[in-house]
Amino acid sequence: MHRVRIIPLLSVLTVAALLGAWFSLETGSVSLSIRDAIQQPGSLNAQIFWELRFPRTATAFVTGALLGIAGTLMQVLLRNPLADPYILGVSGGASVGALLAILAGASTLVLQSSAFGGALLSTLLVFSLAHGQGNWDSTRLLLTGVVLAAGWGAIISLLLATSPGIQVQGMLFWLMGDLSAAQTPRVGSIVLVLLAALAFMLSTSLNLLSGGEMRAAALGVESGKLRVTIYLLASLAAATAVTQAGNIGFIGLIAPHMLRLAGARDHRVLIPGVVLLGGTLLLVADGLSRLVIEPRQLPVGVLTALLGVPLFLLLLYRSRGTYRA
């Protein structure tokens, strides 16, 4: 099986990310030239560019990159290449937090804090419940997360069913992932840089942990501590992403998966790769979500799922024999 070289792969992904950013900045209900907007500060175009387009593009990239990191880490943690950052109920907790804020008519800041709080609450619940007595193995963790996610799902349905009609619209948009109210992702960018750096520093240990906790320990990895660290990093990445843009599925699953199939199995390549690819995928999906039924917009989460499901099934079908169930 072939191995990819790090420099060519990352170069291709960087170019793809730049093209994705250009596509995202160019796309919208008003056609504007990026050059004009930058050269003529104060014009209407410049205002649209700096207040709408740029924050949206930046948020899309940062969110996609965070989802990619969260997915890669969760897959190592659960030792399952099909794991998703949301599988442990992180998004469910965030959604309940966000919906409660919408119901209370709270401001964007309160909504975001509430979503973030919900994600962390969910994380802590899974963590303490799965830990139980002593060891937490992957199956136990997965089961606890899945059951908790189902519980959050029920609460979400309850909130939707009992809320007044005007608010349900906003709730649904949030649940389906939405970048239309994006602001420049200052906190998100800092979180992304920190998480990417930490994950990169842990990458040789991540390589070993993929082969089992005991084996990693026998090869010099402090497995127990590493698992807690990975879990916290992945949850923080997922919580930040969900807070910025609502529920966006499949990026965290598809991005690492595509890179692995392309031959990037070493996490020292996978981590920087997934930042670029995850970001690019969401940039493209968000651009398309504004184009498909112009002038109306689709929630971007709907688009990532519509594109992600067939793509994923295709990848899985073509890689028979590569992944064992």
Partner 1 sequence: MPESLLRCTGVDIEVGDVTVALSLELDIQAGQCWCLLGCNGIGKTTLLHTLAGLRVPAAGRIDLNGTPFKQLKRRHIARQLGVLFQNSEDSFPASVFETVLQGRHPHLHSWQWETDKDREIASGALTRLDLGALKNRNVQTLSGGERQRVAIATLLAQQTRLLFLDEPTNHLDLRHSLDILDMLRAECRDKGKAVLIVLHDINLAARFADHILLLLGDGEARSGSKQEILDTALLERLYGCRLIELETHTGTAWVPE
> Under the rule (CB under 8 A), what is the footprint of partner 1?
1-3, 75, 79-81, 201-202, 204-205, 207-208, 210-212, 214-215, 217-223, 260, 265-266, 268, 321-324
Q: Which is nearer to partner 1, 246 or 256 (CB)?
A: 256
- Tell me which residue of 23, 56, 50 sits closest to 36, measured CA to CA: 50
Q: Which is nearer to partner 1, 131 or 268 (CB)?
A: 268
Residue 197: CB minimum distance to partner 1, A: 11
Residue 5: CB minimum distance to partner 1, A: 13
Q: Which is nearer to partner 1, 74 or 171 (CB)?
A: 74
196-224 in b/e form (b: 16+ CB < 10 A) is: bebbbebbebbbbbbeebeebeeeebebe
C-alpha neighbours within 13 Å on the C-beta side of residue 77? 29
Instruction: Tell the burial category of 265 from Cβ atoms under 10 Å away from its Cβ (0-12, 13-18, 19+).
Output: middle
Residue 150: CB minimum distance to partner 1, A: 24
Q: Which is nearer to partner 1, 21 or 221 (CB)?
A: 221
d(CA 64, CA 185) in angstroms, rounded, equals 12
Is the distance from CB of 216 to CB of 206 less than 8 angstroms?
A: no
Residue 195: CB minimum distance to partner 1, A: 17
d(CA 122, CA 138) in angstroms, rounded, equals 17
Q: Which is nearer to partner 1, 71 or 188 (CB)?
A: 71
Tokens 């207040």 locate to: 51
Instruction: Tell the burial category of 254 from Cβ atoms under 10 Å away from its Cβ (0-12, 13-18, 19+).
Output: buried
Q: Which is nearer to partner 1, 156 or 254 (CB)?
A: 254
Residue 124: CB minimum distance to partner 1, A: 26
Residue 140: CB minimum distance to partner 1, A: 16
